[in-house]
Amino acid sequence: MAAAKPPAASREVVVAVHECLETLKTDKNAHNLGRAAKLLVKLAYLKTPNRIHIAKQSEVIELLVKYLSHDKEFLRVLCAQALMIAAHENEACKTAITKVGAVAPLCTLLKEGSDAKAKAMAARCICSLSEHHEPNRKLFRDCCTDLKDLLKEDGVDDRSRYAAAACLRRLDKHLAKGQLNEIIGMKTKKAPPLGNRPRGPAVTRRGDTRAPVRRR
């Protein structure tokens, strides 16, 4: 018996994703680009069919990767978040993201982000791309040192710390729990969770698929 096909994204979502694509392709305003990336994040978090539809849009993926190198950090962080969600449980998307050049800018964001939260979003994205994907795990192995540095930074919030710890454990399979706890400075023996889907942005109205409004 053939497996049932997964439900498709609604027409409204398909239209909204297309409008986001047009914004990413043609708009030069960083805030408008950020709104498009943020809407993609919201849509992907709402329903699995939305996430699958976004992951299949190669132009969207390529443009999100392109803006990982934008000079505005808030846009780089939003694009990393959108890519993180699109790649969740999608091997083809994970491969496509790294193939079009995501490795270097994500490693740069992890190393040079202005604060722990920006670095942690890079860690979450790397963690998602490396989950059950050995080629990607090898591509990001050089990030282990920067992840350890993030864990040792003073004033890092717990959520960012655990994101870095989860990513480090995913990249370094030989890292024992005790070693990780020593790096973090934790007293507990409980290992950080390996989940790579942090809580998404608040969606104020279910099914809100409005395209971003462009600034003049």
Q: Which CATH architecture has domain 11-101?
A: Alpha Horseshoe (1.25)
pLDDT for the residue 152 = 86
Give residue-wise pLDDT tens across range 115-154: 999 999 999 999 999 999 999 999 999 999 999 999 888 8
Give residue-wise pLDDT tens across range 74-105: 999 999 999 999 999 999 999 999 999 999 99
Domain assignments of the chain as residue spans, ordered by start: 11-101, 115-196
Half-sphere exposure of 22 (CA within 13 A, CB side): 10
Q: How confident is the model at residue 174 (pLDDT cuts 50, 70, 90)?
A: confident
pLDDT for the residue 209 = 54
